Amino acid sequence: GQQLNQSPQSMFIQEGEDVSMNCTSSSIFNTWLWYKQDPGEGPVLLIALYKAGELTSNGRLTAQFGITRKDSFLNISASIPSDVGIYFCAGYLSGTYKYIFGTGTRLKVLA
Amino acid sequence: DAGVIQSPRHEVTEMGQEVTLRCKPISGHNSLFWYRQTMMRGLELLIYFNNNVPIDDSGMPEDRFSAKMPNASFSTLKIQPSEPRDSAVYFCASSFEGSPLHFGNGTRLTVT
């Protein structure tokens, strides 16, 4: 099925470092979502973006809805060990009922 | 809010057996989605329902897979007969009118 391209696929970083990841699509979306998945659990919503150019923060997390509506970015500042997990982006186009998910970025934080 | 509830959490079965996965969406949500997650293919949408009606089942891999939503609070995903390549984590998710998806904790299926 259709998927979004996320990069990087995986990251190893030191505790305290900042993290950046992005998601790109060949299609435009009305909504971009970012989820985090911990081992053995389902993805949990982190941030939702509804307007091109929108910049939204949730604690140490900041996400942006790209101007072209074909991309989105997630930044994590001052990473901590509990940030470990898989981060997924998802795009949604109104009226389609479909949420298209990215391939995921696997984050590992070294203490 | 109890969230999306899936059962069982783990299922181990032998090839050829029937498997039924269950999902209770969040009360008030009118869209329900079944996803399959594997290392190789990531999160794949299998089927989604809107107001209990299947809207798109193009992601269902084969006729061995079927899904039902008899009412707004319950859905099943059935695999009959199961095969080892069906081993994966199956997620159910729900939403209301295009709001962000809420996922259950998944069912880890192992077919031997």
The reported pLDDT for the residue numbered B1 is 62
Q: What are the per-10-residue average pLDDT scores of chain A (111 residues)?
A: 84 95 94 95 96 96 96 96 95 85 92 78
Q: For residues B112 and B102, what is the distance between their CA atoms, to the nearest angstrom?
A: 30
pLDDT in tens, B76-110: 999 999 999 999 999 999 999 878 999 999 999 99
The pLDDT tens digits of the residues spanning B4-32 come to 999 999 999 999 999 999 999 999 999 99
Interface of A with B in 18-37 (CB under 8 A): 31, 33, 35
Across the interface, whether the CB atoms of A42 and B42 are under 8 A apart is answered no
Contact A33 B101 (CB under 8 A): yes
A99 and B42 within 8 Å at the Cβ level: the answer is no
Interchain proximity B91–A1, CB inside 8 Å? no
Q: Considering chain B, what is the average pLDDT of its residues? A: 95
Contacts of B48 in chain A (CB under 8 A): 97-98
* B93: nearest CA partner in chain A: A42
CB–CB of B103 and A43 under 8 A?
yes
Per-residue confidence (pLDDT) for residue B22, from 0 to 100: 98
Question: What pLDDT was estimated at residue B40?
Answer: 86
Q: Where are the beta strands (DSSP E) in chain B?
A: 5-7, 10-13, 19-24, 31-38, 42-50, 53-56, 65-71, 74-79, 88-95, 102-103, 107-111
Instruction: Using CB atoms, pick whichever of B45, B98, B105 lies closest to residue A42.
Output: B105
Report CB contact under 8 Å: B98, A3: no
For residue A93, the model assigns a pLDDT of: 86
With residue A45 as reference, give the H or E element that holds it: strand A44-49
CA distance A89 to A87: 7
Higher pLDDT, A74 or B62: A74
- Residue B1's SS3 state is coil
Nearest residue in chain A measured CA to CA from B31? A97
Reduce the DSSP state of residue B112 to 3 states and report it. coil
- What pLDDT, on a 0 to 100 scale, did the predictor assign at position A98? 80
